[in-house]
Structure 1
């Protein structure tokens, strides 16, 4: 019988863990900085893509036809 209140308390704790969603207005200035963007430097992003596609021997999904297997 002690297991049921413990499970209920655990469920309430898990559901309340993601109760704070969204960005507050005073936090938006920090997220708008260039350092916080996913693609901060386009040159670096192009170099990363070149290295990835060279290692994988494929170039699919970015307006290229076919993949690394040679099929089109």
Structure 2
């Protein structure tokens, strides 16, 4: 009985709510949520990476779209 009550309490705390509410979107768009907050340091690290790998433009791409031509 105690074990089932404990399991029920644990499962009740594990509810999944993946949707972002409209009022929460402003917090996710905050600049502090970016991977690199210092653009000068980010550009320097990209330069070092390109020089070390001897390749330019291979850092990955951003963007979306449907992928059609």
Q: TM-score, normalised by structure 1?
A: 0.45
Q: TM-score, normalised by structure 2?
A: 0.46
